[in-house]
Amino acid sequence: MEIDILKDFSFTPVEKSKIDTFDFENVQFGAKFTDHMLVCEYKNNAWQQAEIKPYAPIQLDPSARVFHYGQAIFEGMKAYKDVNDEIWLFRPEENFNRFNKSAVRLAMPEIDETIFLDGLKALINIEKEWVRKGLGNSLYIRPFMIATESGVIASPSNEFLFCILLSPAKSYYAGKIKVQIAEYFSRAANGGIGAAKAAGNYSAQFYPTKLAQEAGFNQIIWTDSTHTKLEESGTMNVFFRINDTIYTAPTSDRILDGVTRKSLIDLAKKEGYNIEVRPVLVDEIVEAAENGTLKEIFGAGTAAVINQIEAFSYKDKMYELPNMDNEGSYALDLKDKLTKIQNKLADDSFGWTVKI
């Protein structure tokens, strides 16, 4: 590995690691980063030499396109350390492929696999002390790309910066959440950029989500353009359990193709759950809540894995879900099984985990 680092990446180590001052007991998600980052510039139609260097501010021209036209994409993934101190990624090719799909949609250059995946492995190898063992501990990985060419000209940039940041993470029980079904605002449009992990999708969500939070909710369940189909919960894919069947919407250009979502679908099938991928209507969920057949709703994404929903509102009416935690909750069972695979505490029959 050390030889690969020298060959493919230039490496400038920090003078002194800040790991001794990092409080691994009280970790705030995504707030602090490890000693080094990977950066790689794109110019003259080519990716340049990737560099691993001390985590530090980056300098950009104030007219850089990213500030004006939001040409920016990112990924979110995690690394886990097992009981033998080996470090594992979870389905990293999925994130690599999705990153390049996002790049194409935002008129950005695709990144080479050696820079994204080998670069990530080299970076984590340098930072392995920052990955802690034990269920719940992980290293959150944030690859991103921004348009850096100067000039407030409304056309795609010809220069970009790719970067990978690492942030130690700890799972914490955030509690169940209350959500509001979107009746006016939309996260994504037909033919828009909803399927890309684009920075702009998040800024589009902030204001409606703020209004929902002021009204006492944690998140919004996003709907399609007619506000009749349920699509995502906040920044997570969403699953509904009616009686003994789990439903989740098919991906589309409005729905992000989540790695957690597709893993849960495969895992649920293997575990013998009934799971159907088909459009989920607001009306059928309201009806199921009214007649008592709606058992669970949960969001799925890398950061929290599964987030249980305890209530939703629609047309100013609140619908409470039953507490299934001690009655065979599908959400809790699937979360337990998936996190054990990710942490190498259960057999990975799917071959999802990749050793660094």
CB of 20 to ligand PLP, least distance (A): 31
Contact between 220 and ligand PLP per CB under 6 A: no
Position among 34, 138, 209, 260 found at the interface with ligand PLP (CB under 6 A): 260
Contact between 221 and ligand PLP per CB under 6 A: no
Contact between 248 and ligand PLP per CB under 6 A: no
Q: Which stretch binds ligand PLP (CB under 6 A): 32-40, 142-150, 253-261, 338-346?
A: 253-261
Contact between 232 and ligand PLP per CB under 6 A: yes
Comparing CB distances to ligand PLP, the nearer of 94 and 336 is 94
Residue 319 buriedness (CB in 10 A; 0-12 / 13-18 / 19+)? middle
Could you give phi then psi for residue 89, rounded to 5 degrees?
-105, 155
Q: Which stretch binds ligand PLP (CB under 6 A): 79-87, 117-125, 162-170, 228-236?
A: 228-236
Position among 38, 258, 282, 329 found at the interface with ligand PLP (CB under 6 A): 258
Q: Tokens standing for 136?
A: 């719940």
CB of 302 to ligand PLP, least distance (A): 3
Position among 219, 223, 237, 248 found at the interface with ligand PLP (CB under 6 A): 237
How far apart CA 92 and CA 89 sit, in angstroms, is 6
Contact between 301 and ligand PLP per CB under 6 A: yes
Contact between 256 and ligand PLP per CB under 6 A: yes
Contact between 229 and ligand PLP per CB under 6 A: no
Contact between 254 and ligand PLP per CB under 6 A: no
Comparing CB distances to ligand PLP, the nearer of 62 and 191 is 191
How far apart CA 290 and CA 321 sit, in angstroms, is 10
Nearest to 183 by CA among 229, 237, 136: 229
Comparing CB distances to ligand PLP, the nearer of 14 and 303 is 303
Q: Tokens standing for 41?
A: 């510039």
Distance of CA 140 to the CA centre of its chain: 10
Comparing CB distances to ligand PLP, the nearer of 52 and 124 is 124
Phi-psi region of 30 (alpha: psi -120 to 50; beta: other; left: phi over 0): left
Query: DSSP secondary-structure letter at 109?
Result: P
Instruction: Give the footprint of ligand PLP on residues 67-106 (CB under 6 A).
Output: 76
Find the DSSP H helices in 25-137.
Answer: 65-69, 92-105, 113, 119-126
Contact between 265 and ligand PLP per CB under 6 A: no
Q: Which stretch binds ligand PLP (CB under 6 A): 81-89, 154-162, 257-265, 312-320?
A: 257-265
Q: How many amino acids of this chain bind ligand PLP (CB under 6 A)?
A: 13
What residues are paired with 31 via a beta bridge?
none
Angle between helices 330-342 and 259-270 (to 10 degrees): 110
Comparing CB distances to ligand PLP, the nearer of 159 and 253 is 253
Nearest to 54 by CA among 130, 125, 123: 123
Contacts with 169 (C-beta within 8 Å, 6 or more apart), sequence order: 27, 29, 30, 78, 137, 138, 139, 140, 303
CB of 297 to ligand PLP, least distance (A): 15
CB of 231 to ligand PLP, least distance (A): 9
Half-sphere exposure of 82 (CA within 13 A, CB side): 18
Position among 148, 218, 235, 308 found at the interface with ligand PLP (CB under 6 A): 235
Contact between 219 and ligand PLP per CB under 6 A: no
Contact between 169 and ligand PLP per CB under 6 A: no
Q: Tokens standing for 288?
A: 């199921």
Extract long-range pairs of 333-336: CB within 8 Å, 24+ residues apart. 333/271, 334/264, 334/267, 334/268, 334/271, 334/273, 334/306, 335/305, 335/306
Position among 115, 193, 199, 236 found at the interface with ligand PLP (CB under 6 A): 236
3-state secondary structure at position 50? strand
Comparing CB distances to ligand PLP, the nearer of 236 and 268 is 236
Q: Which residues bind ligand PLP (CB under 6 A)?
A: 76, 197, 232, 235-237, 256, 258-261, 301-302
